[in-house]
Chain A
Amino acid sequence: MAAFDIRSVTKWRFVPSGDGGTRRVLALSGVSLEVPERSIMAVVGPSGSGKSTLLRLLNRLEEPDEGTIGFAGVPLRELDVLELRRRVGLVQQQPAMFAGSVADNVAYGPALRGEWSATDLDRVGALLDTVGLPRDFAPREAQQLSGGERQRVAIARALANDPEALLLDEPTSALDPGAARHVLEAIRRVSEVAGVTAVVVSHTLAHARAVAQWAAILVGGQLVEHGPADQSLAAPQSPQARAFIEQAAEAGAEAEHDG
């Protein structure tokens, strides 16, 4: 069964045009995609291809202009949106930390619903373990953390809601290779152990290959390729996907030489 069932989804965006008015751009165009339950799907594509937009539609931060999206067999519009967002966590590209400690951040969701709070150090500690942060981070001021540390606190914060699905927007982009490996490992673990479905946007093909069973390639708002990760990311069928993979592979090779 599909965790997410995305059917012919189109999303327009309004961007400021040079003359002070606004211009319509097509952020997603007729995208249809199924994300299998309890699996990890990587979403790759060039900058501006609609990856973040797709994630924002999956937890109803925004509405599609056309098409429908279902979660666990139910159209999103029929679900209570606050309950949907507890069940479907979204970790943003550059996650904002809330004022307060790391523990306050991690416990934000459960505290909203009166389940447990930041003083429950066992729960906070266990979540920090999961994302590979030392437990003594709990009392630290969250807004003073580094980019990579924030990213991991944000993942822990999303996991605290005990979600059925996790949407991760470039979770490894701010991390060094060691930390990135740790986060990818954590994603795989929650997928395997807790049965969480994950949709992971990634710029780094190696990371996508390392973590995902399935892959989708977006170019210019269109889904140009999707299927098993090893096939779609290695030998895509469509010419646009192939062009993107070649470019990304070159860029990846350069990055490895640099660092």
Chain B
Amino acid sequence: MGDVGYQSIGYPNLALAIGFVVLAVVLARVERLGLEKALVIGSIRACVQLMAMGFVLVLVFEMDRWYHVVPVVILMVLVGARSAYQRVERKPPGLQAVMTGSIAVAVLAVMGPVVTVVLRLEQWYQPQYLIPISGMIIGNATTGCAVAADRLLAELTLRRDEVEAMLCLGASWRQAARASVRAALRAGWMPTINAITVYGIVQLPGMMTGQVIGGVAPVEAVKYQVLIAYMLVGAVAISSYLTVRLACSQAFTKAHQFAKWVHRGRPQETAVR
């Protein structure tokens, strides 16, 4: 893409941008925000991590065997699921496996048709397409799953009396948990819906910006971005749906009772009397 005439940045010029960070550090110092250290560490990490990723990408983009590319995607799914898992405050048993499975299914379900039918790549595993697009999908699915699982537990805890009242009247756990599941799914989907809603107005999404800077015709870049917006919606919907369904089934027993772990350690009204 280099021949399309993007402006290359020299390292000394890049170093000038450190000035912005310095400005923020000075402001933080003056206003006593206590953020100087976080700013410095964050800036260094961003630089080091991106450079490292750059080298990895050079290697990855040279891959021309599916059995080299696919493990990279699998690794990305595992890392994404791990970070989703860590963001959940109260974890149902097996949540990490549930999230890994949910995100993997979402990636397959969304990438499969796109690679074979929409993009019609010469080689379906072309890393220049597969890796960045999977990355965006996994990133959004990760957030969706984490938010949804977190919300599910919060709702079930908050609505404990209501859920038990329904169970007492003969409702199955699925029926009794319906309102909580709904709230969890809404919470999980909302960030992605909100994000794509302002695409092109407030936000120029990263990939499109990148392609345009890289010299791709804006119309082509836009088509990619629309494709990706729709893929994100699908991936978030699938992954958080699976995560919520499976996590919810962990919150109840076969006898339509709350599983013990749901309320263990929760401050008890009756206990403190």
Using a CB–CB cutoff of 8 Å, the interface residues on chain A facing chain B are 13-16, 22, 47-48, 52, 59-63, 81-83, 85-86, 89-92, 94-96, 98-99, 108-109, 112-113, 154, 157-158, 161
Contacts and interface: CB of A to CB of B under 8 A. Distances in A.
Contact of B161 (A81, A90, A96, A108): A96
A126 B217 CA distance: 72
20 contacts: A15-B271, A16-B265, A47-B270, A48-B273, A63-B257, A81-B255, A82-B170, A83-B170, A90-B168, A92-B161, A92-B165, A96-B161, A98-B165, A108-B166, A108-B171, A109-B169, A109-B170, A112-B170, A158-B168, A161-B170
Contact of A61 (B179, B257, B267): B257
B32 interface: no
Nearest to A15: B271
Interface in B4-38: none
B164 interface: yes
A-B CB proximity, top 9 nearest: A96-B161, A109-B169, A96-B162, A86-B170, A15-B271, A90-B168, A85-B170, A81-B255, A96-B165
Interface in B200-232: none
Interface of B: 159, 161-162, 164-172, 175, 179, 255-257, 260, 264-268, 270-271, 273
B108 to A, nearest CB: 36
Contact of A89 (B168, B257, B265, B273): B168
B268 to A, nearest CB: 6
Contacts of A16: 265-268, 271
A112 B255 contact: no
B257 A92 contact: no
Contacts of B170: 82-83, 85-86, 109, 112-113, 161
A54 to B, nearest CB: 13
A99 B267 CA distance: 26
Contacts of B175: 112
Contacts of A96: 159, 161-162, 164-165
A161 B169 contact: yes
Nearest to A89: B168
A86 to B, nearest CB: 4
Given A16-B267, A16-B268, A22-B264, A85 B167 contact: yes
A158 B169 contact: yes
A99 B264 CA distance: 27
A101 B175 CA distance: 19
Nearest to B263: A14
Contacts of B260: 14
Contacts of B179: 99
A16 B159 CA distance: 20
Contacts of A94: 161
A96 B265 CA distance: 22
A14 B267 CA distance: 11
A52 B169 contact: no
Contacts of A108: 166, 169, 171
A108 B161 CA distance: 15
B165 A154 contact: yes
A91 B165 CA distance: 8
A225 B267 CA distance: 31
A95 B256 CA distance: 19
Given A95-B165, A112-B169, A62 B271 contact: no
Nearest to B171: A112
Contact of A98 (B166, B172, B257, B268): B166
Q: Which of B168, B257, B268, B273 has the most CB of A within 10 A?
A: B168
A90 B168 CA distance: 6
Contacts of A161: 169-170
A62 B265 contact: no
Contacts of A48: 270, 273
A13 B265 CA distance: 11
Contacts of B172: 82
A62 B257 CA distance: 7
Contacts of A62: 257
B273 A92 contact: no
Given A15-B268, A22-B264, A61 B169 contact: no
A157 B166 CA distance: 10
B273 A85 contact: no
A152 B13 CA distance: 76
B255 A85 contact: no
A83 B175 CA distance: 15
A144 to B, nearest CB: 15
Q: Which of A15, A52, A94, A161 has the most CB of B within 10 A?
A: A15
B152 to A, nearest CB: 18
Contacts of B167: 61, 85
Q: Which of B164, B165, B260 has the most CB of A within 10 A?
A: B165
A96 B161 CA distance: 6
Nearest to A59: B168
